[in-house]
Structure 1
Amino acid sequence: DWLRQHVHPGDPLALRFDLQTAPETNLERALRPERANSSEAQSRQSIWNEVVQAVSGGPWLVHNGSTKIDGAEEGFNLKSFVDTRHPRTALGVCGDGEILLVTVDGRQPQSRGVTLKELAEVMAQLGAVEAINLDGGGSTTMWISGGYVNAPSDGAPRAVADALLVYANPTGQAGPSLAGTPDPSQQGPPNPPPISLQAGESVPIPAPSTVSAPGTVWGTLEGTAFVDQAGTLTAIHSGSGTAIASHSGAMLRIPFVVNPGPPAALHVSLGPAPNNPPDRSRLHISVVDRYGNGTPDVRVTVTVRSGTPDASQVLTGPNGRADVEIVWDRAQGAVQVTAGALSAHLQR
């Protein structure tokens, strides 16, 4: 409430963070015995004086070259978080100082996610001698060279307030020519026809041979689908999008359209009719594929006991939904809805 009264769009803000080092825990002493001496402990406070940016995470995954997950000690729920497969994000350091930024997709048919034990094993296999878990779940997102190279589990990138950014100076080396769809703001050849696929399908993206040049990064502009680094597109969410291939500042754009799969589930519910008359109800119908995408143009049959529907057959709209109004003869009644082999029953 105070912010709404005193801060307005466009007002400059100054943020202050007062960070203090907490006393070293027994776990920290066990993990870093070299820091247990008094001189080291005294220097811990001065470390924060030099911090310009910081990122938090946990639990540990790899320490001193061995997997070590301290989820229980740090208060993470073992059953729902540590030992359950989720999308994950991790940060690691190799013995030669190389930094590893790793994301693992999850909650999707093409990738179920990993437990923290499995994530620790991945980081160790990649060469990490130190690694820590960062914010995962629907926040697991990786963006490289102008596009998303993973498929966030929410179906689109989540609106989060923070990110870990890595910048690099341009090499100045000329890359291969990526002939294809240009930046819409630039003049050039017309857009190629979109790739069409059904939700759940994986299809190779037709592209010039130059796209296979070393250093090319595949991804999507919207983060609603997944393109592996061999150029194969996998999508489970219906709608349109853009696959991209980037190299040395050049970008090839390939539009695609994901169509819903065949009907897999029928959902129905009764709600009030407009103006809420006591003898009328609005029947809400939804037909979706196995991924929850609305399935259009599905013929639905409605049978009512102790009432009359305004239509006994309807087609679902573009979002897979349809509504039928029912006038009831009695206070109690029933509705039977069928769509092909799918059926649902409601009691009033």
Structure 2
Amino acid sequence: MILAQGLCSAMVCLGYLTKMLDVFCPMHMVLDATGHISHAGPTAQKLLPDDTLVNKRFLEVFELCRPRSVSSMEQLLGVAGLKLHLRKRDAAQTTTKGVLVPLPDNGGAIINLSFGISIIDAVRDFALTSADFAATDLTIEMLYLVEAKSAAMEASRKLNQRLQGAMIAAEEQAFTDTLTGLKNRRALETIVPRLLEDRSPFGMMQIDLDFFKAVNDTLGHAAGDHVLQRVAKVLVENSRDDDCVARVGGDEFVMVFKGITDADVLGRIAARIIAEVEHPMPFKEHVCKVSASVGISVFAGQVGTTIDTIMSDVDIALYASKHQGRATYTLFSENLRQDGPLSQ
């Protein structure tokens, strides 16, 4: 009778102890004399989310990495009080640290675990939160620091994205003609030197509108702006996404066709542009009529070519078209340069 009462009292005490340990040490486990887990704290149980730890043999769930060669409950009790290094035997193989304390009388023990520096991996692998640790555990502070760092990094990332977006927008604005939405001279003077440096072949056209001044003088600048926008649309429709279409002056445009150096191809594009620009352009109750003169130059990878050189070549070809009676195109040749400047 006395023995039974003693056993009952011991069980009550152990039950009360485990309830306290669930709060103070939620990663603890109670082992019986055979080395089987008789109780597992709530956080310890999360190490085996798809099963229960209770009734499993502790050394079948965990491998003792240091000290080594521990394979029985008797040997476990022999390392009581030492810092233990353990690893789960399943695929996750999460590393933990622990310390074991024998239970009096019944041959069992209590072992408390900690993730140590593996806490970040454990939080990720087992979906742990601050509620899974004792309120006074330094792990909580570490988790708060990690969350604060993550939040700061996310805020920094978003700020960098906004700054990068603002920088791209500012650069785009600086390289864009506000009236037509085309590239401007600054953009052209950035793109062409890169192509020359890489010796990437391209064809260049300079387009100048004929009779545009008459539209401005007779119908006003609103009509002139309308014509420039319509011409810009024609140029974009006769180019590819990789090409550069820029407005470089009042009624002057430059087109750079990457990879196109064939004179016949460039001639057909120029002829199509000239024909489409000549179409009458309605503006309110009026009709605007202009034409286009085009000069063409080709860069085929020649060493020593500069932007000034090729811009001079295409300008000479343009004024040759003007000299021929406008609304036509001319391909640059050295003969044109040798003939000297041509008046408009």
TM-score range, shorter chain: under 0.3
More helix per residue: 1 or 2?
A: 2
TM-score, scaled relative to structure 2: 0.18
More strand per residue: 1 or 2?
A: 1
Greater Rg by CA: 2
